[in-house]
């Protein structure tokens, strides 16, 4: 089997036998959003042999990137692949697109869907590469897209992926998840998830196929909030024990929320959940972690990032995740502590002391034990 065969194959497994089938890659891919992650995904698709149209909202920046072949504002160290063309014209970006990657901020997603509706060919799959839950409605982003653009398969691409490393070709893995119809289960190689996976696969970029976009989306939204929590505790002077505890219990919060919404706990332990969370909580490259560290050091929010207006998805997610959790009665104490500090004026030290002094619980849920914490007993 040659390399091309390897890049366009999918294993169909049962307990007894593994049969390798072939999936057809999409030829032309549109990437909507020209920030660092959008540019990196354009590089991934182009490296895998696809023709890519990269769309940016700002004409001046798009024209400059097309002319210089460098996205100087977001990924200055990565020359664009020859297969990438750059435009600020949505109709040009979506012309003949066989699949679309949406990489714009979650807060602008609904407006973008309205804008692209006239230019989408029937049935083109849409993969969300942004992370979050819509503020106000509590909708997952896939629901927002399905509501605005009915008739299109909607999925998600997520994983432990810093943009610069991905664009430079460092070995990277991610999950691509779409709902599987009955026809997809009979012929998984023709599913949007499988076809998109082989469309972006290369020697460096390894996707995994999933039929659980809910679990993937929840992991992507909640991990941003947990990363702020880890940053806060790091900035306040705590170290590895504390971060490990927050990561582990943060995964549990992801599991509870995903399961309540119809996702699978197993998904949350994969690349898009535990993998992405571990990466985001372990590096100052993450804006969520970085914000938390600065706040933990006592730097006022307005002075974080040297006063620059840096978008931090976890700030938005802290509201939408906690609102959704309250609505469906899921306890998410770490996310609630972050929300209290960011939006309710809670003192950071007190909020985390209260988090550690909650009633003692059993780790396997089936044990169902809750004990009063000795600290709270002494206080009373």
- Cα distances from 61 to residues 5, 43, 155, 164, in angstroms, run 38, 17, 28, 19
Asked if 22 and 113 touch (Cβ cutoff 8 Å), the reply is: no
> Is 297 annotated as catalytic?
no
Give CA–CA dist 375/360, Å, rounded: 11
What is the 3-state secondary structure of the chain? CCHHHHHCEEEEECCCCEEEEECCCCCEEEEECCCHHHHHHHHHHHHCCCEEEEECCCHHHHHHHHHHCEECCCEEEEECCCCEEEECCHHHHHCCCCEEEECCCHHHHHHHHHHHHHHCCCCCCEEECCCCECCCCCCEHHHHHHHHCCCCCEEEEECCCCHHHHHCCCCEEEEEECCCCHHHHHCHHHCHHHHHHHHHCCCCEEEEEECCHHHHHHHHHHHHHHHHHHHHHHHCCCCHHHHHHHHHHHHHHHHHHHHHCCCCHHHHCCHHHHHHHHHHCCCCCCHHHHHHHHHHCCCCHHHHHHHCCCCCHHHHHHHHHHHHHHHCCCCCHHHHHHHHHHHCCCCHHHHHHHHHCCCEECCCHHHCCEECCHHHHHHC
Asked if 103 and 130 touch (Cβ cutoff 8 Å), the reply is: yes
164, 223, 255, 297: which is the annotated catalytic residue?
Answer: 223
Give CA–CA dist 88/293, Å, rounded: 36
CB atoms within 10 A of CB 375: 12
**The dihedral of CA 256, 261, 266, 270: what is its sign?**
negative
Give CA–CA dist 71/84, Å, rounded: 12
List residues with catalytic annotation. Answer: 223
């Amino acid at each position: 089997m040659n390399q091309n065969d390897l890049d366009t194959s999918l294993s169909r497994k049962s307990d007894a036998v593994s049969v390798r089938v072939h999936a057809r890659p999409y030829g032309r891919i549109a990437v909507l959003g020209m920030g660092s992650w959008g540019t990196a995904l354009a590089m991934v698709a182009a490296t895998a042999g696809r023709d890519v149209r990269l769309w940016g909202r700002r004409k001046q920046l798009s024209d400059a990137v097309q002319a210089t072949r460098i996205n100087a504002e977001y990924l200055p160290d990565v020359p664009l692949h020859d297969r990438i063309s750059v435009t600020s014209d949505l109709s040009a970006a979506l012309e003949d697109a066989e699949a679309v990657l949406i990489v714009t901020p979650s807060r602008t997603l609904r407006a973008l869907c309205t804008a692209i509706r006239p230019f989408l060919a029937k049935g083109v799959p849409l993969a969300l590469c942004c992370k979050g839950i819509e503020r106000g409605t509590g909708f997952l982003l896939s629901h927002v897209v399905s509501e605005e653009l009915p008739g299109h398969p909607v999925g998600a691409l997520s994983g432990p992926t810093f943009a610069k490393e991905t664009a430079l070709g460092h070995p990277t893995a991610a999950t691509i998840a779409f709902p599987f119809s009955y026809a997809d289960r009979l012929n998984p190689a023709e599913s949007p998830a499988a076809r998109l996976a082989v469309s972006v696969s290369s020697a460096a970029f390894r996707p995994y196929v999933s039929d659980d976009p809910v679990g993937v989306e929840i992991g992507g939204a909640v991990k941003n909030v947990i990363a702020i929590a880890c940053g806060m505790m790091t900035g306040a002077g705590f170290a590895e024990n504390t971060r490990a505890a927050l990561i582990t219990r943060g995964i549990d919060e992801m599991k509870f929320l995903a399961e309540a919404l119809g996702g699978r706990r197993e998904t949350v332990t994969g690349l898009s959940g535990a993998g992405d969370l571990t990466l985001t909580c372990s590096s100052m490259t993450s804006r969520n972690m970085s914000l938390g560290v600065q706040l933990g050091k006592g730097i006022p929010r307005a002075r974080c990032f040297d006063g620059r207006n840096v978008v931090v998805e976890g700030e938005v997610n802290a509201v939408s995740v906690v609102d959704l959790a309250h609505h469906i009665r899921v306890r998410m104490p770490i996310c609630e502590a972050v929300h209290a500090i960011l939006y309710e004026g809670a003192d950071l030290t007190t909020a985390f002391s209260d988090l550690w002094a909650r009633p003692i619980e059993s780790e396997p849920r089936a044990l169902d034990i809750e004990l009063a914490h000795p600290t709270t007993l002494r206080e009373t």
